[in-house]
Amino acid sequence: MKLRPYKVKRTRKMGNAIESLDVHGLFNAEGDQWKIDRRIVGPTLNKNHLQDYFHHIKLTSNRLITKWDKEKDGTAREVVLDLSKCSLDITALSILGIDFNSLNNSSHELANDIEKMFETLFKRTLSPVPFWKIPLCDNLDGGRDVSERIFSVLRELVREYKKQKEQNGGVIGEEEKRAKTCLQKLIDISDDGDDGRLDEDRVIGNVSRESFFLVASLPFDKKLTPIAPLFQLLTLLIAGTDTSSTTLAACLWEIANDPQLQEELYQEVAESALDMNSVSLKDAMDGFPRLHSLLFEVLRCKGPAPFFFLEPNEPVEIKGQVLKPGTVICALTRNLGEKAANEIPLGPNSEGPSEFCPRRWLTSDQSDSLSVTQPTNRYGGYMPFGNGVRVCPGASMAKAEAITVLFSILRRFEIAPIANHPPIRRVARFTDTFDNEIQLTLKPRP
């Protein structure tokens, strides 16, 4: 993992499937292109910008609670789909500034196209034959049409914001800066790196593989161009939705099946005396140690990315074995976490790294004040967001979303699995997810 993105990269098969839908950007970039994309995306997702997106997280969390509040006591609720919609709405608001409100509205065309993009990407990744490279077969699964519709919307968003900037003489006021979406931040970064050598109308107006490779062939300092935000936006939408909803669902399943844990978490939330209006980003990032400990352990043992398929770009030596370029490597990140005894703290009852323990990361001082140990990935024990320089830049936003949504659910509902709930197993799709719906009963708290 630490050899990425130069000596080791994502497998060619997966990379080709992702790029076949014009999903170019940080999520799929390797080598020098990754360094460029990281320069574009990294600043928009750092902790200094999270406050700009936090009100979207609170708004959507409130909508989720309002929707569930309408259910009668004891009614079974299939939560995975709602959590997926919740994550998609948060991501779309923060990145694009578009309010899908898919929790209450299933007819938004762009939201439906993004869901279709997920399905198509998963099927192409597993396809034994890259049929999209065969003449006249590139749209057999409708992937090209979906990609073109999504990019049409993204192009229009870029045009609208750039027009707004031009009307303001290229300057956006301080009030508008605080309301910026990730899209707008990406455009500003790209504009700063554009020396005018590309014809902007040609690049923005006709996003295509040809124009992408035109930009990609330019020297390093010429690549921060108007086309860059379009590719980055789509990768952020894909990377930020499925992973977050799967993590939230796994957390709720553990809470529902452990009444003692649920009571401890509820007391932590209740004692904070916070509600959805008063909870702050600082609370989500630095408070609620019990919630954080649960989240860290779910990500370590039951997160959405238990393995990565990689291949070397050049001969590399791993544990005395030299691997040739193109050799497929399956990096079992979850399995490594279960064996990294020198990096994973023992649980309160000496639970080892191979056991799931939601209280593992809790510590207390002499006054019995609880705090949480922040995981490290120096030795590969904790890698839900990757390892080395290739670590996910959206980790902080994912954490803020998970803690805030769980906080909102715990303070409002007592949850439990339905009677005779069928066993839950995990299956590998685009992420490691559940093989069937999680059905919970929701009992409103007084």
- The radius of gyration of the chain from alpha carbons, rounded to an integer in Å, stands at 22
Which among 292, 405, 294, 295 is positioned nearest to 65, based on CA atoms? 405
134: exposed, middle or buried (Cβ count in 10 Å: 0-12, 13-18, 19+)? exposed
Count of domains observed in the chain: 1
Residue 298 located in a structural domain? yes
Identify whether the C-beta of residue 235 lies closer than 8 Å to the C-beta of residue 23: yes
Q: How far apart are CA 120 and CA 209, in angstroms?
A: 18
In terms of residue numbers, what domain contains 308?
Answer: 8-444
Identify whether the C-beta of residue 361 lies closer than 8 Å to the C-beta of residue 375: yes
Task: Determine the distance from the C-alpha atom of residue 442 to the mean position of all C-alpha atoms in its chain, rounded to a whole number.
Answer: 26
Q: Which residues touch 352 (CB under 8 Å, ≥6 apart)?
A: 341, 346
* pLDDT for position 213: 36
Distances (CA, A) of 184 to 22, 168, 318, 371, 446: 21, 14, 42, 37, 42
Distances (CA, A) of 192 to 55, 196, 220, 418: 27, 10, 14, 54
Token pair, residue 392, equals 């996910």
Q: Which residues touch 33 (CB under 8 Å, ≥6 apart)?
A: 216
CATH of the domain at 283: 1.10.630.10
Residue 259 located in a structural domain? yes
Residue 1 located in a structural domain? no
pLDDT in tens, the chain (446 residues): 777 877 888 888 888 888 888 777 777 788 877 777 777 777 778 777 888 899 999 999 999 999 999 876 667 888 988 998 999 999 989 988 889 899 998 778 888 888 888 888 888 888 899 999 998 898 999 999 998 888 888 888 878 887 877 777 655 555 555 557 888 877 776 665 443 333 333 333 333 333 333 333 333 343 444 455 666 767 777 777 788 999 999 999 999 999 999 999 999 999 999 999 999 999 999 999 999 999 999 999 888 888 888 899 899 888 888 999 989 888 887 777 666 666 888 999 999 988 999 999 999 876 778 999 998 877 667 888 877 777 888 889 999 999 999 999 999 999 999 999 998 888 776 677 887 789 999 999 98
Residue 169 located in a structural domain? yes
Residue 3 located in a structural domain? no
Token pair, residue 436, equals 């069937």
What global pTM score does this model have?
Answer: 0.85
* pLDDT for position 231: 65
* pLDDT for position 224: 44
* pLDDT for position 193: 47
CA 228, 233, 234: angle at the middle one, nearest 5?
A: 110
The residue behind tokens 């300092």 is 221
Residue 347: CB atoms within 10 Å: 19
Written as one letter, the residue type at 263 is E
Q: Which residues touch 20 (CB under 8 Å, ≥6 apart)?
A: 124, 130, 132, 133, 138, 143
